[in-house]
Amino acid sequence: MRLAVPAAVAVAFLVVPLIGLLVRAPWTRLGELLAETAAVDALRLSLLTATSATVLSLVFGVPLAYVLARSRSVLGRILRALVTLPLVLPPVVGGVALLLAFGRRGVAGQYLDLWFGVSLPFTTMGVVLAETFVAMPFLVVSVEGALRTADHGLAEAAATLGSQPFDTFRRVTLPLILPSIGAGSVLCWARALGEFGATITFAGNRPGVTQTMPLAVYQAFQTSPDAAIALSLVLLLVSITVLALLREWWLRPGGAR
C-alpha cells in the first residue's frame, strides 16, 4: 500500500486542473464567448489541418515504418534515431528548424519560391507541415513496433504461395497491423490537434489562416480569460471524444476484423 499515496497524488494532479476548468467555466455566456473569439473558424482550421497532417503521415509514415522495421543495418539505426528526434525535440525548435529549411530564404524554401513561386511559412499549408513534422513520428513509432512483432511466418507463407513482396504487404501484413495503424493515427491526430510551438513559429498566428485552436486559446487568454476557458472546453470535448474512440479501438476483440 506504500504505492497508494503517490498514486493518489498523481491522480489529483492530473484531474484537479480539469475540475478547475469545469468549475470556472462561464457556462451561461458560453455561446456568446465562442462567437466573439471566432472559435468556429479556429476549430474548423484545427480539424482540417490535423486531419491533413494525419493523412500525410499515413501516406509517407507507413512506408517509412516498413523500411525501418525491415532494416537491420547501422544506417537503419541512424535513420530511426533521426526520424524519432521530433518526438523529443521541443516543438518551438522544430518550428525554427522548419523556418530555416522551408522559409523564403531557407535551404529548400528559396528554391520552392524561385522555381514554383511557393511560399510555405504563414500559410495553412505551413500549419499542416508543422503539425506533420511534430506528429508523424508518433505514427511511425507505433506502426514500426507492430511491424516488428508481426508474424514474419505469414509473409513467408504468402511468398511460398506465389505472392510478390508488395502484394504480400498489401494483402497480409497491412490487414494484420491495421489496429496499430488506427491507434497510431489517433495519437498522431491528437498530437497534431494540440500542436502549438512549431505552428506559431513557422506559420504564425493569422486568424482564419493559421490560427488553430491552441493558438486561439493562447491569444484569448491575453485579453479575455473567460473566452480562453470557453475555447479550452471545446478542445477538452474533442479530446474526450478521441479518447473514447481510441478505447473502442483497443477494446475491439480480434483487432483487424
Partner 1 sequence: MSGLAGSRGSGVDLGLRADVKLRRGSLDLDVALDVAPGQVLAVLGPNGAGKTTLIRAIAGLAELDSGSVMVRDEVWEAPRDGVFVPPADRAVGLVYQDYRLFPHLTVLDNVAFGPRARGASRAESRRRAGLMIERLGLSETAARRPGEISGGQAQRVALARALAAEPSVLLLDEPMSALDARTRIEIRSVLREVLAQFRGPTVLVVHDPLEAMILADRILVVENGHAVQSGSPSAVARRPATEYVASLVGLNLYRGTLVDARSHRVDLVGGGSLIAAGRGPTDTGISALGAGSAVLVAVRPASIAVHTHKPEHGSVRNVWAGRVVGLDLLADRVRLDVDGEIDAAVDITAAAMVDLGLTEGASVWLSVKATDVVAYAAP
Binding-site ranges for partner 1 (CB under 8 A): 151, 153-154, 156-165, 167, 171-172, 175-176, 254, 256-257
> What does the alpha-carbon distance between residue 132 and residue 127 come to, in Å, rounded to a whole number?
8
Residue 51 CA: distances (Å) to CA of 139, 208, 216, 224, 236? 13, 17, 18, 29, 18
Q: Which is nearer to partner 1, 2 or 257 (CB)?
A: 257
From 49, 13, 28, select the one nearest 214 (Cα to Cα): 49
Q: Which is nearer to partner 1, 81 or 161 (CB)?
A: 161
Question: In the bound complex, what is the minimum distance in angstroms from residue 56's beta carbon to partner 1?
Answer: 27
Q: Please say which residue, 172 or 187, places its beta carbon nearer to partner 1.
A: 172
Quick one: 75 exposed, middle or buried, by C-beta within 10 A (0-12, 13-18, 19+)?
A: exposed
Query: What count of residues does the chain have?
Result: 257
Q: How far is the CB of 61 from partner 1 (least distance, A)?
A: 22
Q: Which is nearer to partner 1, 24 or 171 (CB)?
A: 171
CB of 66 or CB of 102, closer to partner 1:
66
**Please, what is the minimum distance in Å from the beta carbon of residue 156 to partner 1?**
6
d(CA 58, CA 73): 24
Closest approach, Cβ 234 to partner 1, in A, equals: 38
Q: Which residues of 108-126 are buried (b: 16+ CB within 10 A; e: fewer)?
A: ebeebbeeeeeebbbbbbb
Work out how close the CB of 246 gets to partner 1 at its nearest, in angstroms, rounded to a whole number. Answer: 21
